[in-house]
């Protein structure tokens, strides 16, 4: 038996792995999706489940108005003396020469429980991490944003963190500008065999991405480069099934084995578009006689690796049908704002999920939208909608969504005298609407979408049995980092992935509601 890569499928990038006893945890980035940070749990490094989304209050994570692909970047999860530490950046702006990147840390003693209010660290850069030294000191290490002369990547800095004062203290130490690969970010520190090892993400988070290692006898440096850097990369191998490998973290098992987790992408074609976003993979790591870490086999991550020596704990099969009369699964996240009774309710109409229409799909403030990750190349999503729009500015339906400028939306609306089903595609913020189909006075409709690699086809039914195609086949590949990043540069960065979900807009009064009975997500291959 083997571990298949990726281990965390669909938009789960920037993995920070942490072991506590027999339990393994990986924290991944969530960007503008709320609650912030996904924490995945495993005991065998193969089967993983999301168990917590710790940043679940506005006091911890205020993202209203943040641009697309900003918000929570590259969290770092660590554990020290009975306490979990979660470092994260809440990126406020990124386009232009200056970047606003405040960094925070929250703590808890119970990873599934409530996390503390945040302590502010600094805003010098992003991708910060916490390192707990064997001498009792804790350190914050981060990349530095340098806006001078178009440099951007300014190297790596280190500063002590006072657990008592809950802030950074003392001198700031400049560690390194990185290797010749450049674009140095994602720093993590480790201690082994009398050295401090600095693991970096370099080469950019696209097809040149890589992981490099430096080391020093002193935590403040100087740091020397690994003789075989980069230790992990897919650059130069476009035929390989996984790409973009980098932004990594190490973990040692209770048996003394070592592994490295890292982000990857799975393109639809060589060096093409990755509709599933950036995912998380794992590889075996070995320490050789020269005292440096290496992948067990070469520097190109494998599509599958042998199972660990850890006892296997199979994951329970996930239900494909979500009945909205029951508790909403963690899979469903909202955009930028918490789920609260002001716009989402399972109480007002028992057995249904009620969405009170808010702003448009172009809004970065108040959207009534919940969605889950698309985690396979061939999926089908469907829902039962009951909606009585009064004006043409009121809409509700099923959406395949990348960001405020890129989505495919099948929705119910009205012209005041009869109701219509309509499909709107937003491509680089240009909206294309297909010919609406009248359904008369009907207010109850089944909606379905099938996404098969780069193709998306919508369907509808009035009785739930006979589904008919609606609209033409759509280009699903526009719902990818690669497409968005290659488009209008004003709308970069692009770091997320495709979601599918339900939403409601009321551009008249921000109050008219739609009711959803259930939502089904099925992976077809």
- pLDDT single digits (tens) 37-76: 999 999 999 999 999 999 999 999 999 999 999 999 999 9
Among 273, 306, 339, identify where a domain stops: 306
Give the per-residue pLDDT at 108.
Answer: 98
Do 181 and 226 sit in the same domain of this protein? yes
Query: How far from 232 is each of 6, 335, 503, 515, CA to CA, in Å?
Result: 15, 33, 40, 48
Do 298 and 326 sit in the same domain of this protein? no
Range of the domain at 491: 321-523
- Determine, yes or no, domain membership for 201: yes
Cβ-based neighbours of 410, under 8 Å, separated by 6 or more: 397, 398, 399, 421, 422, 423, 447, 449, 458, 460, 470, 471
Q: What is the DSSP letter of 376?
A: S
Do 326 and 268 sit in the same domain of this protein? no
Mean pLDDT of the chain: 96
- Determine, yes or no, domain membership for 396: yes
Contact 179, 168 (CB under 8 A): no
Q: Out of 106-115, 181-190, 237-246, 309-318, pick the least confident.
A: 309-318
Going by C-alpha positions, the residue among 478, 504, 506, 503 that lies closest to residue 491 is: 478
Give the per-residue pLDDT at 493.
Answer: 85
- Determine, yes or no, domain membership for 312: no
Give the per-residue pLDDT at 341.
Answer: 96
Q: Out of 292-301, 309-318, 423-432, pick the least confident.
A: 309-318
pLDDT-derived band at 407, boundaries 50, 70, 90 = very high
- Determine, yes or no, domain membership for 316: no
- Determine, yes or no, domain membership for 313: no
Report the C-alpha gap between 431 and 406 in whole angstroms: 9
Report the C-alpha gap between 506 and 510 in whole angstroms: 5
Give the percent of the chain with pLDDT over 90: 94
Answer yes or no: is pLDDT of 457 > 90.
Answer: yes
Report the C-alpha gap between 162 and 170 in whole angstroms: 9
On the question of a cis peptide bond just before residue 213, with omega within 30 degrees of 0, the verdict is no
Give the per-residue pLDDT at 525.
Answer: 78
Task: State the CATH number of the domain containing residue 355.
Answer: 2.60.120.200
Do 260 and 377 sit in the same domain of this protein? no
Among 276, 306, 336, identify where a domain stops: 306
Give the per-residue pLDDT at 486.
Answer: 85
* Mean pLDDT value of segment 369-383: 98
Task: State the CATH number of the domain containing residue 269.
Answer: 2.115.10.20
Q: Out of 103-112, 201-210, 411-420, 480-489, pick the least confident.
A: 480-489
Report the C-alpha gap between 131 and 177 in whole angstroms: 19
Q: What share of the chain is helix, strand, coil (3-state, %, to 5)?
A: 5, 50, 45
Give the per-residue pLDDT at 490.
Answer: 59
Do 297 and 339 sit in the same domain of this protein? no
Domain count, the chain: 2
Give the percent of the chain with pLDDT over 70: 99
Among 306, 341, 365, identify where a domain stops: 306
Chain centroid offset of residue 204 CA: 17
Going by C-alpha positions, the residue among 427, 412, 406, 381 that lies closest to residue 506 is: 412
Do 240 and 370 sit in the same domain of this protein? no
Answer yes or no: is pLDDT of 318 > 90.
Answer: no
Report the C-alpha gap between 436 and 420 in whole angstroms: 6
- Determine, yes or no, domain membership for 314: no
Do 282 and 344 sit in the same domain of this protein? no
Cβ-based neighbours of 207, under 8 Å, separated by 6 or more: 234, 235, 238, 243, 244, 271
Report the C-alpha gap between 506 and 514 in whole angstroms: 10
Give the per-residue pLDDT at 150.
Answer: 82
- Determine, yes or no, domain membership for 489: yes
Contact 231, 293 (CB under 8 A): yes
Per-residue b/e over 389-415, b at no fewer than 16 CB within 10 Å? beeebbbbbbbbbbbbbbbbbbbbbbe
Report the C-alpha gap between 262 and 353 in whole angstroms: 36
Cβ-based neighbours of 263, under 8 Å, separated by 6 or more: 13, 14, 15, 205, 209, 244, 245, 246, 247, 248, 278, 279, 280, 281
- Determine, yes or no, domain membership for 127: yes
Do 419 and 271 sit in the same domain of this protein? no
Answer yes or no: is pLDDT of 360 > 70.
Answer: yes
Could you list the active site residues? 14, 185
Q: Name residue 87's beta-bridge partners.
A: 76, 105
Do 488 and 430 sit in the same domain of this protein? yes
Per-residue b/e over 506-519, b at no fewer than 16 CB within 10 Å? bbeeeebbbbbbbb
Count of residues making up the chain: 525
pLDDT-derived band at 491, boundaries 50, 70, 90 = low
Do 32 and 137 sit in the same domain of this protein? yes
Contact 398, 383 (CB under 8 A): yes
Report the C-alpha gap between 508 and 447 in whole angstroms: 24
Do 233 and 284 sit in the same domain of this protein? yes
Do 9 and 153 sit in the same domain of this protein? yes
């Amino acid at each position: 038996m083997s571990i298949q890569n990726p281990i965390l499928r669909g938009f789960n990038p920037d993995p920070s792995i942490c072991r506590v006893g027999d339990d393994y945890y990986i924290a991944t980035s969530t960007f503008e999706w709320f609650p912030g940070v996904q924490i995945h749990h495993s005991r065998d490094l193969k089967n993983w489940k999301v168990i917590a989304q710790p940043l679940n209050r506005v006091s911890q994570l205020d993202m209203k108005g943040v641009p697309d692909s900003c918000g929570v970047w590259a969290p770092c999860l660590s554990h020290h003396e009975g306490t979990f530490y979660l470092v994260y950046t809440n990126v406020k702006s990124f386009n232009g020469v200056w970047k606003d990147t405040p960094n925070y840390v929250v703590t808890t003693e119970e990873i599934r429980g409530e996390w503390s209010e945040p302590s502010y660290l600094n805003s010098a850069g992003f991708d910060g991490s916490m390192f707990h030294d064997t001498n009792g000191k804790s350190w914050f290490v981060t990349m530095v944003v340098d806006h001078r002369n178009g440099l951007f990547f300014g190297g790596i800095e280190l500063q002590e963190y006072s657990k008592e004062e809950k802030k950074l203290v003392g001198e700031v130490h400049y560690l390194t500008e990185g290797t010749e690969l450049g674009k140095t970010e994602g720093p993590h520190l480790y201690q082994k065999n009398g050295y401090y090892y600095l693991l970096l993400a370099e080469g950019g988070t696209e097809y040149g991405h890589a992981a490099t290692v430096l080391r020093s006898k002193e935590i403040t440096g100087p740091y020397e480069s690994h003789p075989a850097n980069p230790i992990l990369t897919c650059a130069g191998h476009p035929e390989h099934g996984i790409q973009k490998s980098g932004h990594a973290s190490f973990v040692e098992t209770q048996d003394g084995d070592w592994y490295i987790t890292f982000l990857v992408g799975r393109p639809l074609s060589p060096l093409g578009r990755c509709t599933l976003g950036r995912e998380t993979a794992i590889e075996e790591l070995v320490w050789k006689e020269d005292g440096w870490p290496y992948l067990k086999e070469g520097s190109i991550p494998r599509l599958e690796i042998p199972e660990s020596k850890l006892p296997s704990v199979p994951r329970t099969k996930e239900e494909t049908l979500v009945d909205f009369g029951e508790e909403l699964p963690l899979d469903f996240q909202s955009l930028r704002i918490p789920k609260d009774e002001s716009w989402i309710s399972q109480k007002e109409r028992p057995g249904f999920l009620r969405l009170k229409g808010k702003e448009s799909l172009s809004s970065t403030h108040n959207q009534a939208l919940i969605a889950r990750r698309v985690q396979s190349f061939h999926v089908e999503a469907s829902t039962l909608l009951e909606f009585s729009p009064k004006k043409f500015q009121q809409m509700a339906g099923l959406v395949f969504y990348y960001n405020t400028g890129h989505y495919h939306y099948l929705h119910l609306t009205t012209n005041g005298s009869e109701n219509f089903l309509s499909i709107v595609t937003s491509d680089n913020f240009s909206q294309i609407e297909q010919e609406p189909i009248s359904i008369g006075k009907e207010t109850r409709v089944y909606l379905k979408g099938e996404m098969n690699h780069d193709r998306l086809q919508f369907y509808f039914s009035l009785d739930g049995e006979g589904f008919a195609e609606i609209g033409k086949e759509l280009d699903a590949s526009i719902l990818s980092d690669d497409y968005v990043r290659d488009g209008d540069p004003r709308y970069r960065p692009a770091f997320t992935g495709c979601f599918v979900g339900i939403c409601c807009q009321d551009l008249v009064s921000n109050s008219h509601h739609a009711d959803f009975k259930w939502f089904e997500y099925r992976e077809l291959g």
